[in-house]
Structure 1
């Protein structure tokens, strides 16, 4: 199967090996149908849900290293911050110029707090906005500041990643954090995207009012099928190798699946490491031997308990 390289990749073909390795090592958006479908759904929610009395929000569920954060970063990339002064001069007052330098932020991303405390949630949001606040401020003051700055900065969607962190505390505190998230959506009338592992389903199931508002979207592990083969072809199209790689055959494709355990982060990491291994061994393509010999460590392999007696 002949795979055409992307235009960007073709421009790198005549560069040195080290330059091409640097290109391979950079993070790039790899588009595939499931990811695009999720982005399309998030785009629709961003476009049509804002301002409703009962806003529909989303819970994005997937295992670690399976593409959640990449999808969210892609959505943010599609809706970058803009010059708030130029586009909304009627909302900017003299006090605002004196106190805060702002841009419009259509989609804003934060990490869930490491412990389920409402005050920590608000602090994370304010810190991510570079908004002035004191850590010692009470919950009510922080809530006011969060609502004030999210509204003033034209935040139309709030993303809270690693929401399964909420499970690290007692149920009462979990509910406090979830209620705070629900109230932000109600007050500001904006959709909120929660993202996390499958444990995140346990988080929202503690409250029916929460679970009814957050529609789950799932990122499943890859299996041996045509979609998976198409994914491999897409990845190959981003690698500046001068000869045709041979990884779409059943043996090599299955080996990649076995090593990665079906997680897209490891699929991508393995193929990129094999490409770098091949280039450093003066090869312009990758095949089964490169996949086996590049010594890639998957996330699950890294997390296994090892005998450390010789270290």
Structure 2
């Protein structure tokens, strides 16, 4: 009856419903091929020889498609195996100019001073931290936030990225939306410094169906749901619009419903009961008016 589950998941069927629900809702790593390829590229940045002109990497794709999880997973694995921290993740703040950008990095490096107004003092503090911490890779999540200012502000940010490569041997990794690709490739000089790792929407193909099979095998539900069979797979794909974050959200909510209802399998009727709205429909004018 539980042959559809991974070996380590089967014993969870003996747990209480709430324990199983908690397990279903817990964040989980999905090691699909693009994620594995991204980790390989990040590993190459860590193992590269010293350079005065370091190469960076862009992880670019739509929202809710797993880019941040890819970076965070790699950073965690590095910390587990390395005696020193060589990777730091920076959550890029919204706001134009170097002041906001420096504040993001100071916060990412767990340093005080992110709220001080003097940009020169922030720069001095950053130089001191980078010289002492000696990071090998700086990952800037939601880097598109730094690209919304005046052209001279954006150029100052890119100048900083060039400088930390030359002065501190740091490879920057830029994560976010397609605007990053556009800005980096606006000049040949910056385009030559960054490789692209695309994180595109999923297509309805064998890889997507294998993803559904893996998700089903990881969820402690007693009966097989056959998520990869039509029309269930098509329904999930349509609602998710090919975004892995949405796929996981839909399957997770449907699994919780299956456990709590006692049905013990994910069904099309159960997914319809969720009333999940695709991201592209959430700006629907009629829906918005109904909320006023």
Task: Give me the TM-score of the superposition, normalised by structure 1.
Answer: 0.86
The answer to whether 1:197 aligns with 2:177 is: yes
Deviation at 1:108, TM superposition (A): 0.5
Provide the residue aligned with 1:23 in structure 2: 23
Alignment partners' CA distance in 2, 1:137 and 1:260 = 42
Alignment partners' CA distance in 2, 1:170 and 1:120 = 13
Alignment partners' CA distance in 1, 2:113 and 2:145 = 24
Deviation at 1:197, TM superposition (A): 0.7
Provide the residue aligned with 2:198 in structure 1: 218
The answer to whether 1:238 aligns with 2:180 is: no
Alpha-carbon contact 2:102-2:114 (below 8 Å) kept:
no
Deviation at 1:245, TM superposition (A): 1.3
Unpaired stretches in structure 1, ≥5 consecutive residues: 88-103
Provide the residue aligned with 1:96 in structure 2: none
| Mapping 1:118-129, distance limit 5 Å | 118-129=98-109
| 1:100-133 superposed Cα distances (whole Å, 9 cap, x missing partner) | xxxx422111122312311221122112223243
Alignment partners' CA distance in 1, 2:280 and 2:3 = 30
Alignment partners' CA distance in 1, 2:3 and 2:155 = 50
Provide the residue aligned with 2:79 in structure 1: 80
Provide the residue aligned with 2:158 in structure 1: 178
The answer to whether 1:12 aligns with 2:40 is: no
Provide the residue aligned with 2:69 in structure 1: 70
Alpha-carbon contact 1:239-1:275 (below 8 Å) kept:
yes
Provide the residue aligned with 1:54 in structure 2: 53
Q: Secondary structure at the match of 1:109?
A: strand
Q: Secondary structure at the match of 2:196?
A: strand
Alignment partners' CA distance in 2, 1:82 and 1:133 = 31
Taking only aligned residues, the RMSD between alpha carbons, in angstroms, comes to 2.2
Deviation at 1:253, TM superposition (A): 0.8
Deviation at 1:141, TM superposition (A): 3.2
Deviation at 1:168, TM superposition (A): 1.8
Alignment partners' CA distance in 2, 1:150 and 1:297 = 44
Deviation at 1:76, TM superposition (A): 1.1
Task: Give me the TM-score of the superposition, normalised by structure 2.
Answer: 0.91
Segments ≥4 residues shifted beyond 4 Å: none
| 1:174-216 superposed Cα distances (whole Å, 9 cap, x missing partner) | 1111111221122111211001111111221344322210111
Provide the residue aligned with 2:144 in structure 1: 164
Provide the residue aligned with 1:39 in structure 2: 39
Alignment partners' CA distance in 1, 2:247 and 2:121 = 46
Alpha-carbon contact 1:61-1:219 (below 8 Å) kept:
yes
**Which one is further off, 32-41 or 150-159?**
150-159
Shift of the 183–303 alpha-carbon distance from structure 1 to 2, 3 Å rule, reads: farther
Deviation at 1:11, TM superposition (A): 3.2
Alignment partners' CA distance in 2, 1:35 and 1:134 = 32
Shift of the 304–105 alpha-carbon distance from structure 1 to 2, 3 Å rule, reads: farther
Shift of the 136–266 alpha-carbon distance from structure 1 to 2, 3 Å rule, reads: closer
Alignment partners' CA distance in 1, 2:94 and 2:208 = 34
Deviation at 1:152, TM superposition (A): 1.9
Deviation at 1:292, TM superposition (A): 2.0
Shift of the 45–304 alpha-carbon distance from structure 1 to 2, 3 Å rule, reads: farther
